[in-house]
Amino acid sequence: MAIFSICVSNRVRLKRLRILALLVPAFLLLVLAVPHALAPATWLNSDIDSESDLDTHVTLLLLWWAPFGSTQKLPGSCTSFGVRGCVLTLDREEYGHADAVIMHHRDLVNEPDALPKPPRPEGQKWIWMNFESPSHSPWLEGLDGVFNLTMSYRLGSDIFLPYGYLQRRRHSNSVNPLNSQHGNGKHHQHAIDNHLLVNRNGNGNGDARNGVHSSVARHGNDFKSLVDHHSININHPVDEENVNDGNLSSNNGYPVPWRNIRSVRRRRTLVAWVISNWSEEQERVQFYWRLRRYIRVDIYGRRALSLINDSVFQTISGYKFYLAFENSIHMDYITEKLWRNALESGAVPVVLGPPRENYERFLPPDAFIHVHDFKSPRALAAYLLYLDRNPAQYRRYLAWRHDYTVHVTSFWAEHYCAACRAVQASRKQRKTIKHLGFWFQS
């Protein structure tokens, strides 16, 4: 009987060991898979085969200049953006070992003689980074054939990082029309690979113009394609100073930012504008002088009213409308004036910038009011006053918030991590941007 018990016990123990042997590999696979499943939908496009392009190599990224002399501390890692294996440095002594070097355009223009002298380390990529408009980006023609990757707000950049974008709410049941590139499930499988727009199927000339048309095709013809481009498995760090409209109170069914006055009727003032660089030659200033004849506009800035507690959010959240007027008008140049100042603060943006069709690549048609929809500033003022008297009509411009939230791009940590991820994903690619100035100014 004892022998029988021992045999049974051994069999049970052996069976348990076999089960354990099966469970351990499965657990390890799960652990390895989770970081990829949770990675953010940023920077890389779905046609990049990230699994074949990435390895365990630690990527060293050198910032040749801190943008505008920024003293902001470099992020210790990029894991909060879902990017692993990145080391960032400002130490130029590491130039010979760097996988890539980021050159900020404005600093390059101010200090052109500080560029590294040839020869360039084999395989090293130079990244051109610029978030100013072509009107404020001199010396572009002198950079043809210098860089390997572009990073900017322009659709068609190798690394496309707009000033902001919409993300779909978790509870949203709305269905977006997806183009064939996004409809095969691969987009979800490689959610982390959404922001890098490297042209891998070009003619080998490395012409940045090739990327423009291909990126437009990949993103479809409306903002919903771009929302899907950004909104899967987002994992952005919280910026407590720039809280978006994730915490909501209800206003007749339409969410509004939590710090806003709960009823649109209770907003005490109508139109606001924050401007730091005033120039009478600018189209936006000339438009303002005509508009103010018919409607009051409160101006905040260096030579005007002071912000409440030095906070754009606290100030603008008391207004119904915000003048999101760009300092110059160029394709895709839609800045924090719209994303942070207006949308994140809960105001309806009145925009002056590229054509309405360009804005609709990033936003629903009823999320903003375009000045060119009206024959004159007087007609625009009359419409704003009409919306002020008719809350139900005004709330139409808030309805999109039920399905979407606003993400404002984090300067500069998000950009550095985007660049690092791009270098990882395009390690085997060799190209040079031959016509940088022509592309960026087109």
Give pLDDT tens digits for 324-338: 999 999 999 999 999
- Is the Cβ–Cβ distance between 369 and 383 less than 8 Å? yes
Residue 225 and residue 392: Cα distance in Å, rounded? 29
Residue 247 and residue 54: Cα distance in Å, rounded? 37
Query: Is CATH 3.40.50.300 the right assignment for the domain spanning 242-408?
Result: no
**Percent of the chain scored above 90 by pLDDT?**
60
Residue 26 and residue 296: Cα distance in Å, rounded? 65
Residue 331 and residue 431: Cα distance in Å, rounded? 25
Residue 159 and residue 419: Cα distance in Å, rounded? 7
Lowest mean per-residue pLDDT among 39-53, 101-115, 305-319, 386-400: 39-53
Residue tagged 């929809």 (tokens): 373
The angle at the Cα of 249, spanning 246 to 254, to the nearest 5 degrees, equals 90
Please give the single-letter amino acid code of residue 335.
T
- For helices 377-389 and 283-291, angle between their N-to-C axes, nearest 10 degrees: 60
Mean pLDDT of 152-172: 92
Q: Which pLDDT tens digit goes with each residue over 37-64? A: 333 334 443 333 444 444 568 999 999 9
- Is the Cβ–Cβ distance between 118 and 146 less than 8 Å? no
Q: How confident is the model at residue 72 (pLDDT cuts 50, 70, 90)?
A: confident
**b (16+ CB within 10 A) / e for 43-61:** bbbbbbebeebbeeeebbb
Q: Which pLDDT tens digit goes with each residue over 194-230? A: 444 443 333 333 343 333 323 333 344 566 766 665 5
- For helices 223-230 and 208-219, angle between their N-to-C axes, nearest 10 degrees: 100
Which tokens belong to 324? 């999101």
- Is the Cβ–Cβ distance between 377 and 398 less than 8 Å? no
Longest dimension (CA), the chain: 105
Which tokens belong to 338? 């719209």
Cis peptide before 412 (omega within 30 of 0): yes
Q: Pick 299 or 6 by higher pLDDT.
A: 299
Is the pLDDT score of 421 beyond 60? yes
Q: What is the pLDDT of residue 268?
A: 63
Q: What is the pLDDT of residue 201?
A: 34
Q: What is the pLDDT of residue 178?
A: 22
- Is the Cβ–Cβ distance between 45 and 226 less than 8 Å? no
Mean pLDDT of 306-317: 94
Please give the single-letter amino acid code of residue 434.
K
Lowest mean per-residue pLDDT among 297-306, 317-326, 380-389, 400-409: 297-306
Which tokens belong to 44? 């890389």
- Close Cβ partners of 140 (under 8 Å, ≥ 6 residues apart): 134, 436, 437, 440, 441
What is 274-295 written as a DSSP string?
EESS--TTSHHHHHHHHHTTTS
Alpha helix stretches (DSSP H) within 120-246: 186-189, 208-219, 223-230
How far is C-alpha 97 from the geometric centre of its chain's CA atoms?
A: 29
Residue 381 and residue 295: Cα distance in Å, rounded? 6
- Close Cβ partners of 19 (under 8 Å, ≥ 6 residues apart): none
Q: In the predicted model, what is the mean pLDDT of the chain?
A: 76
Neighbours of 183 (CB within 10 A): 10
What is 114-131 written as a DSSP string?
GSPPSSPPTT-EEEEEE-
Backbone φ and ψ of 346, nearest 5°: 90, 0
Is the pLDDT score of 186 beyond 50? no
CATH 3.40.50.11660 in the chain, residue ranges: 242-408
Is residue 374 packed enough to be buried (19+ CB in 10 Å), middle (13-18) or exposed (0-12)?
A: middle
Residue tagged 């051994």 (tokens): 10
Which tokens belong to 242? 């720039």
Catalytic one of 132, 326, 344, 414: 132
- Close Cβ partners of 9 (under 8 Å, ≥ 6 residues apart): none
Distance from the first to the final alpha carbon of the chain: 90
Task: Please give the sequence-ordered ranges of beta strands (E in DSSP) within 219-378, or none if there are none.
Answer: 248-251, 254-257, 269-275, 298-301, 319-325, 348-352, 369-370
Is the pLDDT score of 135 beyond 50? yes
93 as an active site residue: the answer is: no
- The upper half-sphere exposure of residue 283, i.e. CA atoms within 13 Å in the direction of its Cβ, equals 14
Listed residue (272, 274, 314) closest to 295, CA to CA: 272
